[in-house]
Each structure stands twice: as structure tokens, then as C-alpha cells.
Chain A
């Protein structure tokens, strides 16, 4: 047994980063459960938007498959909101609360911290998305036919990997930002919902939609998940296997992009003295 005076053994790089990931994930998961008003707003309000769009389809007399399509889009919108505000803008929050410098004196990799943030974010958002699922498929009475749950899970995991890797890239870019971070995040909400076809088949955007889907993984992810749930009624853009392969590719690209961007922008913001600059 180790005495109090014995030094703590220094873990290897892998173990250290794993612990950093776990620690950041823990904060996100446990911290998110401590504020009831925050839970309510994260969980309930996105369901309101989704319900409005479902009822618009109902008011227009659209086929029922469109309602299911909007429900799935509404559920996935919560993940994009988390990617933007919980990943992209996170380092801006940390800067404002005076904690960003602690990230940079820690011995672990910044990417390990961002990974913990991402995994915690997916977990936290999934617990919130339960409300949207209940409102969509329960309260609003939207139905889907029997589907392959394993395939859905696989598509979901790959989509989340691509989406949160993009979030890590955004977090790196936002290192330089001051108040612009707010406005950029705001500007990336509804425009991305539109470009990703969250509430309509992405095919309805034509060639423009195909280009947009190649840039933001949300569109391909929602399209693939709709195809699993609704089959041909989803009016899919590409075969599921192709979309999953592209999403996996995007996940890898965004991860390495995040790493490169983080290194470059960290050094740039240190040189310009903006790393710890608050209220700019």
C-alpha cells in the first residue's frame, strides 16, 4: 500500500489522455444533471420546434411519412445545437470564465479534453432527446414501421463521430474568437438546419443539397437514419452504405483538421495575446 508521502506514479501518455477524457466527460455528464432549469430548456424546447413542423405538415394535409421525417430531424437538431454551443463555443465559455489557461497548463493533449467533451455531449444530449422522442412518437402519434435497430445504431454512431469531430474543429477555430463566437454560433443554427434538410427530404434541395450534405455531416446522417426508419418514403439522397462511408471519412478528416487547427490557432492566439483575453 502506498503511503501519503510516496509520489503518485506518472501514467503513460495514453493512460493520461484517457483519464483526461474521462474527467472532462464526467464534468459534462454530472454537471448537466445539476441544473433543473437547464435540463428542462435543453430537453423540452427543441421538442416544441419539432412539434410545430409536424403540425405544419398535418395542417397542409401531407402524407404521414413527412411527419416522421420531421420528428427525426427535430431529434437530431438537438445534437447540432450541442455541437455548436457545447463544443464549438465551449473554449469561448472557458475563456470568459477564466479557465481556458488551465487547459493549456495541463499535461494532457487538448484533443483528449475535446474528446471527453464530445462523448459527454453525446450522452447528455441523448438523455435530453428522449423528450423529443416521446413528444414525436408518443404525444403527436407519429408512427414508423419495423426497422433494423442495429443498423440504426451503427448509422447513429458514425453520424455522431462525424458531427462531433466537426465540433472539435469548430472549437479550435473559436479559440481566437471573442463575442463573434456568439454570433457565428447563432448564424450556424437555422441555416444549417436548412442545408441539412432536417425537416424535409434533403433531395428536395436538388444539387445544392448534395453539395451541402458533403460539407456538414448532419444532412447525410439524418438522411441515412431516415432511410433506415422509413425506407423508400424517406426519399434518400444516396444508398445508406455510401452515406455511412462518407460520414466515416468526414469523421477522420474533421478529427485531423481539428488537431491541425488547434495547434496552429493555439500558437497564433498566444502570439497575439488573445488566448486569455476576456470581454473583447
Chain B
């Protein structure tokens, strides 16, 4: 019989600043050597659960606690955060924010330094653990030079060095491009096998985590555990849909086709999925779904980039002779690996940075020399982190800010702000302080504040990062609606779902150059592009190949069309 290593018993927790408890009557046992995935929408309490396990609750975040939580047979509230941190190693969401040292070696050594380990001993231990994550040749490198995946490896090594019994990952995939995310999951798998640690992963990208093996999936909703089962059982149940968690796309396709998914079919992985009995069903569905009409009618060109180049430092062009055209009313994804130049590109379009050569034209007029402020009247930019944009206390003032600064009349401002707030669904909150809003709502305020200026083009940097399915759908449907009203939208994203579901056209950037500019479906089924831009093939494509459809890309296209229609009627 396996020993339980974490035991929640009738555990309830309420943050000091809140009225309602965030966790209610949690009963959960995790056994030694298990690998567990915890999923749930934003605000479901999954992060709080993680904080309880690593000791941030109740030692850093105070509150009222009832029931018991035992880790390695010890009641945690009687310990202190340092004792807990010897047992539970936590890898936080944002690798950049959690680095403490400056070089790789130093950061890995941080826990040892605090333990007072002597230097020769420390050097050896750092070497050993860096070998485990394959970073031993980079010990002296500065953390800023590393790629997203390497950063993740360093943060992992930094907690492994303590020989913890439990590894806790808080949204490990949030900031990684798809291919790097896949490597991260394999790395966690491999570490688990080599060290036999217990692994807990908190993540809402279910399909990506299931790429590795997972023993159990815990689903949380509204502070409670609503499901605790094997991945196979979970995917066969309706729990995911009701808890607003995205099902793997191949499962969704099967459900559309009317297949009944059962645990016996082993649906957790596409490779193990027993699909033979439903093959005919799927093929029939494929043939029945109508082919999308070709609606690629070309409108007038709005934005034109002509051979633009830009570099931060001499010798290496971050953007290298890049050209493309954007027509009015398009909705485009800009994708590529971390550091490929996507964000830089958006900054160049807005004038935040100046191109070194090349021309940018808006409605045929050269705007290369225009200032940020001049461009902002036509091109709106929404940054990834809303906290970088918000500077007023009240929602109304924040949205009105740009108009006030441009000297519009009071009445004009009021009518434009009210219209914008209505479009963004924020009108009922117009007199609220911004601090009372959730992250997703703040994001909407920033979109509204840019929209109020009536731009022709809207650029959004990672609009859905860190959003659960419900908020994701809300934001994206909202953008789709804006797009229908004629706003041209450019999205910088890592999210392959977003790209497939919402944007007909995708521009793929690698090393400052465009390596593909075609439909999202074509991009996500093209092996060479996928590899050079660190993307990931969609599982729909894999499913289509497994059931032997001759044009698997067609299958993906039809799924997307069908899905769009289903969502439309569902609204």
C-alpha cells in the first residue's frame, strides 16, 4: 500500500481580506510517487490549493484555516514555511520573476546558500543537479541570455537542488511557446522517473499536459474538488465542459461526430486512443460537414510594411527586411518562438521603436516618420500586462484619458466613452474603481481605453495569456465582434487554439523574417514551419491521419468551420 504524502482533511481556507472561503471542505490524498494534474477555471481556488501545499498559505498569505493538511504526516500549520519548503519545491509561473541569482549556477545554488552549505560542496551539488536538467555547460551564463525553455530548466534545478519530495508546478506552460511547452512536459516526466518525486502540476492547458503521463486529474471549481479521476475517466465524463475547461480538440471533434467516448478507449492520448470502432462515424461526419465558402475577398489595403529592418544592437537584425500587407477587416495571428521578434514588430508598427530602414504605410500614406502619438490615432496597441497601461482610479476616467489629452469636448468624450464601454460590456461598471476588477476585466478596460480613440487597426500582445476558457472565449468573441464591425486586428500569440479558431490568416516569424504567411490551418499542418517556429501540430491533424482521411488539413478546416457555427448558435 502506498503511503499518502499530502493529506487534506475537511480543509477550509479563507483569506483575511475576503468574506467567502476560497477553499471549501477539501478532502484529497496524494500518494508518494504520483503525478497529479490540477485543473480549474480562474478563481476556482487551484492556486490557493498550491499555496497551501507550499506553505505560502498560511505563512505569507494570512487567513482563517479549518480542518487539517498533513504533509509527510506532519500538520503544516504547526510547521514554518522553511520546513515545508524542504519537502515541497515550487516552480512558479513566471520564470523571469522568480530568478534571484544573476547567473545560472548562482540561481540554482540559492537554496544551498541559505542553508549555509560550504562553497566546495555547493559547487558539486549545483553541478550534479544541473546535469539532471542538462544545463551543466551553461552554469556561468547570464539568465537573460537563456531561451524560455532553458529558463524553465534552471528554475526546476533551483528547487531540485533541495532534494524535495514533492515538486509543485504553478502553470509551467503559461509563458512558453508550444514546442517548448511540450519539451517542458517531457522534462518533468523524465525528472519524475529518475528521482521518483511526487509531482503536482497546476495548469489549465489540459491537452498539453496530457502529452506526458498523468496518474490523476483533479478538477476544481468554486473552491471545491468536483472531480478526482484518471485522465481516461475524466475525458469520458462531462465534467470538463461544466467546469469551463478546454477539452482536447480531438475529443471535441469526436463528440461533434457523435462518438461516445468511454474510459476503455484510453482517450488520454491520441496515440493510445482506440478509435477503430468509430472510424466510419468520423469519416461520415467529415464528409457531411460542409466545406467552408472561400470568403477571402480582398478589401483595400490598410497597412503595408515594406522591407523594414530593425536592430537593438549592431550586427544582428531583430527584424530583417520584413514585408507584408494587411487588408481592411482582417484578423491575423502573428506567431513564432519566444524572442523571434513578434513584440518588436508590433512596437515598430506603433512607432514605439523606429525602423532603421524600410517604409510603413497606412492607407497608402507613408507614416514611417510619424510620432507615437500621431500613429496612435489610427493604430491602437494593447499590451500584455494591463498593469503597464492603467493609470487612473476609475474606469470611466481611464477610458476617457486618451480623448481628454487630445482636447475633445466634454460631451463628445462622454458619448464616445459610453459607446466604447457598452461595446466592451463595461458600461454597468463605469463608476467602479479599477482595483475592484478581475484580471480579465482589467484587460478589457485597456482594450476599451485604446478603442475609444477609434483606431483602424488594433494590435494585441497575448490577449488571452493566463485566461481560463470562459474569459478566453469572452475576450475573443468580443474581438471577433469588433472585427465584424470593421476593425482590423493583429494578435500576437502563443496559443495555437486561438490561432486556429479565430484568425483565418497567420504570419509566422522566425529570426526576424517571415517564414510563412498563409491560413492558420495550413501553418499548423506544415511540418517545416512548425519546426522552425517552435509551434505544435494540432491534434486534429493527428486524428485525421489516424482515421485515414486523405486530406487531413481539410478535416481541420471543416472542424473549425463547424465549431464556429456551433459556438454562434450557442451564444
A is bound by B: no
Chain A residues within CB distance 8 Å of chain B: none
Chain B residues within CB distance 8 Å of chain A: none
